[in-house]
Chains A and B, each alone.
Chain A
Amino acid sequence: MEREVESMREYYDSGKTKEASWRASQLEGLRAFLTDQQHDIFHALMQDLGKHHLESFRDEIGTLIKSLNFALKHLKQWMSPGKAELPRIALLTSAEIVAEPLGLVLIMSSWNFPFGLSLEPLIGAVAAGNTVVLKPSELSSASASLLASALPNYLDNKAIKVIQGRPEVAEQLLFQKWDKIFFTGSPRVGRIVMSAAAKHLTPVTLELGGKCPAVVDSLSSSWDREVAAKRIIVGKFGACAGQACIAIDYILVGKEFASTLVELIKVWIKKMFGEKPSESNTIARIINKQHFFRLKNLLSDPKVKESVIYGGSMDEEHLFIEPTILVDPPLEAAIMSEEIFGPLLPIVTLEKIEDSIKFINSRPKPLALYVFTKNQSLQGRMVSETSSGSVTFNDAILQYAADSLPFGGVGESGFGNYHGKFSFDTFSHQKGVLRRSFLTDFWFRYPPWTTTKFQELEASYNYDYLGLLLVLLGLKTSPKRL
């Protein structure tokens, strides 16, 4: 493995990956992969997660193509240096910020959106001119295999390599010295990654998770209520069966509105997924037995079981769990303290909807906060009084597709961000460059130090041009002593 890493560094040093044409060619290669191999990708995702191909297109392939088009469109602009303003006293000086690639980067992705979470960061890394090692999760093995076998046919494989394997391989990779590590996954492994990175002073971006709450205010219009219910359902059950870092984890709703909401959700679950969701193929499966049992266990506590008011059936053989709704499970239960990452939806009722602010703030900062309300004052309070990676009003998950918004966490949900230009920036070093002329010089920079020089320096630091002139003309003295 060291040899592979070495050879990639040498390739990077050759300067090839810095060329704009190389970067564009790689982005085009990725786009070709996604269009040509669409059926194979659908097939892999069906195998790994039972994802319907529309879900695969909507959440992974489609979003990636959008990001690729965006990157190709803006690449030149991103690569061009940004001028930095200077004060007038800095005559004949120019300043700019030049973006340069970091070098050799490691991307570790997770199993729930194996293509999306591998390739979205890859887009940024390549656009920024780096060489990349991609380590997809072994849990989504069909997808990992497809990436490993197909990508070399579309990309420059001296610069971009896919390394498959179990956690031991990931450990070995973490021993190496990288110029950046981009990790998507759980906080537990995030700590391991950052500790390993610390040994080499490698900067990291950690895209973690958390319990993303959806606060639902009472909505008066029936159209609004239906739309809210549909969006909540897709934001929970429609996104990889709830196995998504930005899936709605639980709902907070006022006692008065709760039953209305619950009924609406039940109705629309049936409309969207049919009477027998396990046969409709519109809900993804649980990734493996380990997670299946983890989710099953969340319902084992009798008090939690009592709170189940819809669904609950589980098919171990097919790793299928029906959309399940709980109302007011005990707050100390695991289902209310751990990230659920599955199709179980607790609904917590509150006296008044404003209590949700305190509820959210007493828990770790989530990756996303969803608020369904038309009340502008509540909207304002939510933004200014809570902290989360992002806030989305009246919808869920969609913020993932916005190229102009940074996507990342805060606190326990991670740090760093990407998407759009943020992807390019996350894999770049912003290098300040100052160009001076020999012609202008500030004599008062140089010793021997005298009181006069002191005054001149002071005036120049305060951009006090008149003051400087007066001192130069001997018309102004400072009361200071050295």
Chain B
Amino acid sequence: MSSNESKKVFDEGAALLLVDELRGIFASGTTRSYEWRVSQLKALSKLVDDREQQIIEALRSDLCKPPLETVAYEIAMLKNSCRVALKELKHWMKPEKVKTSMTTFPSSAEIVSEPLGVVLIISAWNYPFLLSLDPVIGAIAAGNTVVLKPSEIAPATSSLLAKLLEEYMDNSSIKVVEGAVDETSALLQQKWDKIFYTGNGRVGRIVMAAAAKHLTPVVLELGGKSPVVVDSDINLRVAARRIIAGKWGCNNGQACISPDYILTTKDFAPKLIDALKTELGKFYGENPLESKDLSRIVNMNHFARLRKLLEDDKVAGKIVYGGEKDESKLRIAPTILLDAPRNSLIMKEEIFGPLLPIITVNKLEESFDVINSGTKPLAAYLFTNNKKLREQFVTTVSAGGLVVNDTTVHLATHTLPFGGVGDSGMGSYHGKFSFEAFSHKKAVLYRGFKADASVRYPPYTKTKLRLLKALIGGSILGIIRAIFGWS
């Protein structure tokens, strides 16, 4: 299976050939059948089951990701997505009958979901397995052919994906292209029927601009600064644990929906910090830099970026916990800061790391203004028992998704659309939304020849106008009156 030929450069020519080949396969109809889709979903599920150890190893290599995190967030979630898709696929594929009204009477109508064709999925490095295969599940369920471009910043996972997908899946229809900027650019030059991108806003703009040339619709799953608003009258221990699980328990803060920063009142901040310190000690022990239960920073680039955030002298003095770094191991300990200045870099950019700034306000309601003054994040969190505050949060804070009294768990809820708004992205997926993201909803209207309302046709007369008005109005009485010339 493996060849000894020298590695061919994947350039525009190769990309064009690849897309043409997949178009041919799609046109043959292979990927449209229910049987094919089920076989691929089952194969994917089997892949994840059989190769769990290898997946855990790859993520350990790329990120030092604790095995339990891999199992919980990458493997278990993928298996669940496959399970949901397999269970619901027949239902999703079925045309949806819709009601028709007087204006098209007599008629019947339905909405038929059809695959878009040849889709490109570009994934990220932080959950390299999940963010590659979860969209693939949607693309397959919807009946498309797929090219997956995993992130080169997680190389062990990228090559494992290439190897395993070739081994387990129908590789005439599902292909992996590995590589970096050059290969991605070659792919983006082509005409796709959909592009699904997970990553940052800078590259998101490039992807959308490339898609614009071919009028290709896109889903962009980006990021932002996901805030956590913490009220005072709460179960502090549980809240602290959930914040920690969502921040450092998610790839050490390198997750698009990780709590980025906290907003709380000046009075409550010390209590919150104490609770966080206590729980952090329980989770990661005395020497968190050595803890096996924390991911490392993915590479030197990001390590240097995070270090820079802390080096700002107006920020360095605000560290109230942690701050230790080990460059040789690319590790940064869980770090908490109190009231870093709002115009510092750490408060302007998405942190994507184990640094947690706490910003204090006088009254908790002010925190909503703080959040709304920035760009719309992918997620926003609130810990409170105050019903009024909760409802205010839901109505005034705009974000991809909201969670009250927890963090990140909405990712696992397949009945909620997962996606951003504004700078945090466009489009959504998970569950049925994944199927829809890769489908075209085709309207189908059935008319007969029997009843023909001449009212639509020239020559145009006053009677026809009256009748038309009545038809639009939809009332039987109105129509009768119009026919008899009484309106």
Query: Chain A: residues with CB nearer than 8 A to chain B?
Result: 13, 15, 18, 52-55, 57-58, 62-63, 65-66, 69, 84-86, 90, 95, 97-98, 100, 102-103, 179, 187, 190-191, 194-195, 197-199, 201, 203, 206, 208, 219, 221, 223-224, 227-228, 230, 233-234, 238, 272-274, 280, 282, 361, 374, 379, 383-384, 387-395, 398-399, 401-407, 410-412, 414-417, 429-438, 441, 445-449, 453-454, 457-458, 461-462, 480, 482
Contact = CB atoms under 8 A, between A and B. Distances in A.
A391 B404 CA distance: 44
11 contacts: A95-B415, A383-B444, A390-B445, A401-B103, A416-B217, A434-B409, A445-B72, A446-B283, A457-B76, A461-B77, A462-B79
B283 A62 contact: no
Contacts of A13: 372
A391 to B, nearest CB: 5
B421 A411 contact: no
Contacts of B27: 361
A201 B426 contact: yes
Contact of A195 (B66, B212, B385, B469): B212
Interface of B: 27, 32, 52, 66-68, 71-72, 76-77, 79-80, 98-101, 103-104, 107, 109, 111-112, 114, 116-117, 193, 201, 204-205, 208-209, 211-213, 215, 217, 220, 222, 234-235, 238-239, 241-242, 244-245, 249, 283-285, 291, 293, 372, 385, 390, 394-396, 398-406, 409-410, 413, 415-418, 421-423, 425-428, 440-449, 452, 456-460, 464-465, 468-469, 472-474
Given A401-B104, A434-B410, A449 B404 contact: no
B116 A234 contact: no
Nearest to B398: A100
A432 B212 contact: no
Nearest to A223: B449
Contacts of B469: 57, 62
The 4 closest A-B pairs by CB, nearest first: A432-B416, A194-B212, A198-B208, A54-B460
B80 A461 contact: yes
Contact of A448 (B283, B415, B440): B283
A195 B235 CA distance: 48
A431 B400 contact: yes
A388 B442 contact: yes
Contacts of A416: 217
Contacts of B222: 201
Given A272-B459, A402-B103, A224 B68 contact: no
Contacts, number: 286
A412 B444 CA distance: 19
A282 B425 contact: no
A193 to B, nearest CB: 8
Contacts of B217: 415-416
Contact of A482 (B67, B385, B427): B67
B270 to A, nearest CB: 21
Contacts of A361: 27
Contact of B99 (A404, A435, A437, A462): A404
Contact of B449 (A394, A411, A482): A394
A388 to B, nearest CB: 7
A389 B410 contact: no
A395 B445 contact: yes
Contacts of B109: 402, 404-405
Contacts of B284: 447-448
A199 B293 contact: no
A66 B449 CA distance: 24
A191 B405 CA distance: 43
Specify the main secondary structure of chain A where it touches its partner: mixed
A410 B423 CA distance: 25
B239 to A, nearest CB: 7
Contacts of A391: 442-445
A413 to B, nearest CB: 9
Nearest to A364: B215
B401 A433 contact: yes
A388 B372 CA distance: 40
Given A401-B103, A448-B283, A272 B458 contact: yes
A361 B27 CA distance: 9
B445 A227 contact: no
Contacts of B468: 54, 57-58, 62
B227 to A, nearest CB: 15
A405 B458 contact: no
B283 to A, nearest CB: 5
A84 B447 contact: no
Contacts of A394: 446-449
A84 B410 CA distance: 11
Contacts of A233: 457
B447 A393 contact: yes
Given A238-B458, A448-B285, A449-B293, 11 more contacts: A54-B464, A100-B398, A201-B222, A274-B459, A282-B460, A389-B443, A398-B445, A402-B104, A430-B428, A436-B404, A438-B234
B433 to A, nearest CB: 9
Contact of A389 (B293, B399, B442): B442
Nearest to A70: B101
Contacts of B112: 383
Nearest to A92: B405
A187 B216 CA distance: 11
Given A402-B109, A404-B98, A449 B416 contact: no
Contacts of B403: 433-436
Contact of A438 (B205, B238, B442): B238
B321 to A, nearest CB: 17
A62 B76 contact: no
A406 B215 contact: no
B348 to A, nearest CB: 17
Contacts of B415: 84-86, 95
Nearest to B452: A227
Nearest to B114: A387
A17 to B, nearest CB: 13
A69 B447 CA distance: 24
A53 B465 contact: yes
Contact of A406 (B390, B441, B460): B441
B399 A431 contact: yes
B449 A402 contact: no
Nearest to B460: A54
